[in-house]
Amino acid sequence: MSLLLGVNIDHVATLRQARYSGMLDSPNAEPSPLEAADDALVGGADSITIHVRGDRRHMQERDAFKIRDQINLPLNFEMGNTPEMVAMVLRLKPDFVCLVPETREEVTTEGGLDVAGLYDSLDKTVSQLQQEGIKVSMFIDPDTHQVEASSRIGAEMIELHTGCFANADDVDRKQETNRLKNAAILGHEHQLQVNAGHGINRQNLSELLTVPHLAELNIGHTLIARSLRVGLIEAVREMREAMKGYAL
């Protein structure tokens, strides 16, 4: 099976909110996350990823439901472990949920979820979601304890946080790549689907593709940035082409 591409379109909403926060009913409110999701589909995306944050800094609840209703692709919903988000997801019924850490201070998600340390509170949420037929992924650092905790809690998937890998210099990049390899091998041994995301771009992709057992890459910022030059359809097509040949 070929490596899948999930396209995160949060930052389309970031741009819209910069001008139209509080005015989403305006006919001028643009750009449209719904249109971006459709462009990602045309470009060859295998799924759409969105994150409705507690502070609603980019994606809004209405965006999530429009995309779920109108885009014929699996929806991956990133969420903090809060009662508000659990209630929303139980109405939205996305195909997948990726549980992520969330703080108001961060610009974007930084670091993985402490599944081991937050096990009891996460366990209840995982059970609730799975009872509704929603598959669950844990967004974790490439750490053996977090992989093992994700397996124990019953998640179907892990998404390895690739931010340290993406931001490392040449010397540290090798160490971070090895961490990802070890975590992916362990996840595969525990029969978890292994995904990866954060900071992935065409410059670091070739080294990331040396990591075994990857099923899907979730990529956002670089695609939105590239779309300013070539459009989102072409940006997604370029990334899909660059991902070809992965066979580990």
Is the distance from CB of 24 to CB of 60 less than 8 angstroms? Answer: yes
Q: What is d(CA 40, CA 118) in angstroms, rounded to the nearest whole number?
A: 34
3-state secondary structure of 186: helix
Domain ranges within the chain, ordered by starting residue: 4-243
Mean pLDDT, the chain, as a whole number? 95
Q: Which one from 78, 159, 176, 216 is the annotated catalytic residue? A: 78
Q: Which residues contact 99 (CB under 8 A, 6 or more apart)?
A: 78, 79, 80, 81, 113, 122, 125, 126, 136, 137, 138, 139
**Is-catalytic flag, 198?**
yes
Is the distance from CB of 147 to CB of 158 less than 8 angstroms? Answer: yes
- Count the neighbouring beta carbons within 10 Å of the beta carbon of residue 221: 16
Is the distance from CB of 51 to CB of 193 less than 8 angstroms? Answer: no
| Structure confidence at residue 225 (pLDDT) | 98
Q: What's the pLDDT tens digit per position in 40-71?
A: 999 999 999 999 998 999 999 999 999 999 99
Q: Which one from 51, 102, 159, 176 is the annotated catalytic residue? A: 51
- Stretch (H or E) spanning 218: strand 214-219
| Structure confidence at residue 110 (pLDDT) | 64
Q: What's the pLDDT tens digit per position in 196-220?
A: 999 999 999 999 999 999 999 999 9
Residue 73 DSSP one-character state? S
Q: Which one from 11, 102, 198, 216 is the annotated catalytic residue? A: 198
Q: Which residues contact 248 (CB under 8 A, 6 or more apart)?
A: 209, 210, 211, 212, 213, 214
Q: What's the pLDDT tens digit per position in 103-147?
A: 655 445 568 999 999 999 999 999 999 999 999 999 999 999 999
**Is-catalytic flag, 11?**
no
| Structure confidence at residue 74 (pLDDT) | 98
- Whole-angstrom CA distances from 83 to 35, 87, 122 are 29, 6, 11
Q: What's the pLDDT tens digit per position in 90-104?
A: 999 999 999 999 865
What top-level class would CATH report for the domain 4-243? alpha beta
| Structure confidence at residue 111 (pLDDT) | 82
**Is-catalytic flag, 110?**
no
